[in-house]
Amino acid sequence: MAVDAKSVKELRKISGAGMMECKKALDKADGDIEAALKFLREQGVKVAAKRASRQANEGLVFSYIHGPGKLGVLVEINCETDFVALTDDFRNFCKLVAMHIAAAAPEYVSRDEVPADKVEEEKQFLLKQLAESNKPENIKHKIVEGRMDKFYGEICLLDQEWIHDSETGKVADALSAIVAKIGENTVINRFARFQIGG
């Protein structure tokens, strides 16, 4: 099936991917925009994984102040070159991440930053909740695993649902998408969130 220019343009607007990538995705998906978006996301994840080993020593410390100045965020996001750090795409991503941090109030960037004792405490609490149920042990542990994902989704930035649109998925997916778009390894390194009276 031939893909028309209007569909390519529409997919490009939604995804931010290049014209040729959009055309290729639509070809693969027989013109179905939803399926093409899924294909682009999968490609983005593969590209991000490939680039993850490359050094990201450049980037920006981006500041965001919300409203009348009662809430502010500083976030350090790294990329490979200062050239990319100065692009609109990279700066816009930094701004969106800072706004997300302001709204969602994560405590850590990723799961590996959460102190082991905090993780263990949460697991024990969840197991205690299930102690009275007569479910088999292996089922209890599966339930705890699922609830731990929810726990990480509340406190870890990369595990949180991306607040800017429901299509993207998690912050980690938005990060993969920007890596695919700018063509460089990108790392959300650290952040600080300041709130008056918080």
pLDDT digits (tens, 9 = 90+) for 109-141: 999 999 999 999 998 888 888 777 777 777 878
Asked if 142 and 160 sit in the same domain, the reply is no
SS3 string, the chain, reads: CCCCHHHHHHHHHHHCCCHHHHHHHHHHCCCCHHHHHHHHHHHHHHHHHHHCCCCCCEEEEEEEEECCCCEEEEEEEEECCHHHHCCHHHHHHHHHHHHHHHHHCCCECCHHHCCHHHHHHHHHHHHHHHCCCCCCHHHHHHHHHHHHHHHHHHHEHHHCECCCCCCCCEHHHHHHHHHHHHCCCCEEEEEEEEECCC
Per-residue pLDDT of 39-74, as tens digits, reads 777 766 555 555 555 667 899 999 999 988 899 999
Residue 22 or 113, more confident: 113
Asked if 99 and 14 sit in the same domain, the reply is no
Asked if 67 and 83 sit in the same domain, the reply is yes
Asked if 83 and 167 sit in the same domain, the reply is yes
Asked if 100 and 66 sit in the same domain, the reply is yes
Asked if 179 and 82 sit in the same domain, the reply is yes
Asked if 73 and 62 sit in the same domain, the reply is yes
Q: What CATH number does residue 139 fall under?
A: 1.10.286
Asked if 130 and 32 sit in the same domain, the reply is no
Residue 73 dihedral angles phi and psi, to the nearest 5°: -135, 140
Percentage of residues in the chain with pLDDT exceeding 90?
46
Range of the domain at 62: 58-109+156-195
Asked if 160 and 99 sit in the same domain, the reply is yes
* Domains: count for the chain: 3
Asked if 45 and 23 sit in the same domain, the reply is yes
Asked if 93 and 162 sit in the same domain, the reply is yes
The confidence score (pLDDT) of residue 118 equals 94
Asked if 160 and 150 sit in the same domain, the reply is no
- Overall average pLDDT of the 174-192 stretch: 90
Q: For the full predicted model, state whether its pTM sits above 0.85.
A: no
Burial of 14 (0-12, 13-18, 19+ CB in 10 A): middle
Say if residue 159's pLDDT is above 80: yes
Q: What CATH number does residue 176 fall under?
A: 3.30.479.20
The confidence score (pLDDT) of residue 104 equals 96
